[in-house]
Amino acid sequence: MSGHSKWSTIKRKKGALDAKRGKIFTTLIKEITIAARLGGGDENANPRLRQAIAKAKANNMPQDNIKRAIMKGTGELPGVSYEEATFEGYGPGGVAIYMEVLTDNHRRTVAELRHLMSKYGGNLGENGSVAWMFDKKGQIILDKSAGDEESLFEVALDCGAEDFEVEEEEYIITTEPGQLMEVKEALEAREIPVRSAELEMVPKNTQKVEGKEAERLLKLMDALEDNDDINHVYANFDIDDETLASAAES
């Protein structure tokens, strides 16, 4: 694979998801609601809902919260109407940024994202301006403790994966989008613990960023992640570990 999401790796190392558990619950409730609205409340017949529920359970969301979110999506309970949208633009160093949002106020979201991009040296672009730089893929993360590289590589391919990468502290298994849950469930059926399974926008190529531009870019990415309307944000940057450590200390 030509590139992977450096930002996803950074978030995992920083533990950003755990630190923002309150936002995780809000985002997951939105995702479950929309998935149920679009595909119905039966997770067995709705792959997107099944994936959202699996992620909610992995983040210890109470079952009652999940049930209410589904019922709001199917119309059995009243609730806020969310819409999905994507935004694209460029950050410091010419880095491509792709954002997926779930919002109840499109105009507010546009204004907030435009402000954040401008504040940190980026700008919003037209739809399609950077989407072509990414491929949508399923990505499954395994801890190194899940097994040895050779064995897991063979098992992953046997389960339907299309790629297998070795990182410093984890394995990354890549699938076609529609195969994500099937591969995840096949791994779990073999008693291989899965840390996470997500649909990701994986960059085809990466853009090197250093120094002050790297610092501004990471601040922008953090600010976007903090925005309540952002569901996922992806970027095609590459920052070396030394620059990353320096930026984290500043």
Q: What is the CATH number of the domain that holds 89?
A: 3.30.70.980
Verify that 181 and 239 share a domain, yes or no.
Answer: no
H or E element that contains 93: none
User: Which residues are CB-neighbours of 158 under 8 A, at least 6 positions away?
Assistant: none
**Is the Cα torsion angle 196, 199, 201, 202 positive or negative in sign?**
positive
Domain hosting 68: range is 15-74
Verify that 141 and 197 share a domain, yes or no.
Answer: yes
Helix segments in the chain, DSSP class H: 6-14, 16-19, 21-39, 47-58, 63-74, 106-119, 149-158, 180-189, 211-226, 241-249
Q: Is the pLDDT of residue 243 over 80?
A: no
pLDDT band of 2, cuts 50, 70, 90: very low
**Is the Cα torsion angle 50, 51, 54, 59 positive or negative in sign?**
negative
Q: Does residue 167 belong to any structural domain of this protein?
A: yes
Verify that 22 and 110 share a domain, yes or no.
Answer: no
Verify that 117 and 152 share a domain, yes or no.
Answer: no
Question: Poorest-confidence range of 10-14, 77-81, 217-221?
Answer: 10-14
Verify that 98 and 65 share a domain, yes or no.
Answer: no
- Per-residue pLDDT, 21: 58
Verify that 141 and 181 share a domain, yes or no.
Answer: yes
Verify that 183 and 138 share a domain, yes or no.
Answer: yes
Verify that 115 and 141 share a domain, yes or no.
Answer: no
- Per-residue pLDDT, 7: 73
- Per-residue pLDDT, 15: 58
Half-sphere exposure of 86 (CA within 13 A, CB side): 12
Span 13-52, pLDDT tens digits: 665 555 555 678 888 899 999 999 999 999 999 989 998 9
Number of domains in the chain: 3
Question: Poorest-confidence range of 8-22, 53-67, 114-128?
Answer: 8-22
Q: What is the CATH number of the domain that holds 59?
A: 1.10.10.200
Verify that 121 and 211 share a domain, yes or no.
Answer: yes
pTM summary value:
0.80
Verify that 51 and 94 share a domain, yes or no.
Answer: no
Q: Helix, strand or coil for residue 164?
A: strand
Residues 141 and 198: their CA atoms lie apart, in Å, by 9
Q: What tokens were used for 4?
A: 């992977």
Verify that 65 and 95 share a domain, yes or no.
Answer: no
pLDDT band of 78, cuts 50, 70, 90: confident
